[in-house]
Amino acid sequence: MVCRNDVLHTGSQTTALVPWPQTTEDMQNMRHIRSGLAAVLGLALCGAAMGQNTVAEVLEKGGRPISKADFLSVLPFSTTLKWPNKQGEEDVVLHPDGRISGKGYHYSSRSESPIEGRWQAEEDGKVCTPKTFTAWNRSTSLCWYGFVLGETLYQSNTNEPSSKVISTALPARPAAPPKP
C-alpha cells in the first residue's frame, strides 16, 4: 500500500449508483450488497489502518472472498471521502470502463483538483485504485482484497492468511415488504 504527499482518505459516505432492479426483493438484496461493497471500497480507497483480525480468521469463521464479479456489480458508484489529516476531501467515481474520476478539495489552500485514474480488478479479487490529483501533481496507489462474513465486510492489502484486515458493518437490510 502506498500513500504519498499526505493524501490519505477515510470513507465518510458511500453511495452506490446501480441499475434499477426488477423486483422489490432484488432491490433490497442488491442495495444491501452494493452498499456494503461500496463501503469496503471506500475503506480501501482511504488506506485505513489495519485491525486485529486476519484473513485466515475471517475465512475460518465462514467468510468468503469478494470476487471480481461482486466488485464489478457495484459499478458505477461514487463515494465522498474525507482525508484523515483533516486537510481535505474528495468526490470519486469508479466507472465500469476502468476510469476513476472526480475532484479533490484542499481546505487551507481553498483549491480543487481534478482526480484521474484507472482502477483494475483481477480474477482473484484484488482491486487497485491508483489515482492522481492532476492540479496538485499528487498521487495515491492502493490495492486491496475484500471479504464478507455475516453482516461484516473486511479489507486487506493481500489475501495471505496472516494478513491483517479492517472491518466495517454491512448497512442494515431494509425490512422485507409483506407478501401479497
Domains contained in the chain, number? 1
Contacts of 105 (CB under 8 A, 6+ apart): 88, 89, 90, 111, 112
Each residue of 16-29: pLDDT tens digit? Answer: 333 334 444 544 44
- The domain of 136 spans 2-169
> Is 177 domain-assigned?
no
CA separation for the pair 85, 108 (Å, rounded): 12
C-alpha grid cell, residue 126: 484484488
CA separation for the pair 159, 126 (Å, rounded): 8
Mean pLDDT across the stretch 92-121?
Answer: 95
> Is 174 domain-assigned?
no
Quote the radius of gyration of the chain (alpha carbons, Å).
Answer: 17
> Is 77 domain-assigned?
yes
Q: Is the dihedral of CA 75, 80, 85, 87 positive or negative?
A: positive
Each residue of 123-157: pLDDT tens digit? Answer: 999 999 899 999 999 998 888 898 988 878 788 98
> Is 32 domain-assigned?
yes
> Is 176 domain-assigned?
no
Q: Hey, which residues does 99 pair with through a beta bridge? A: 118
Contact between 112 and 128 under an 8 Å Cβ cutoff? The reply is no
Burial class (CB in 10 A: 0-12, 13-18, 19+), 135: middle
> Is 63 domain-assigned?
yes
Predicted confidence (pLDDT) at residue 175 exceeds the cutoff of 80: no
Contact between 4 and 47 under an 8 Å Cβ cutoff? The reply is no
Coil, strand or helix at 42: helix
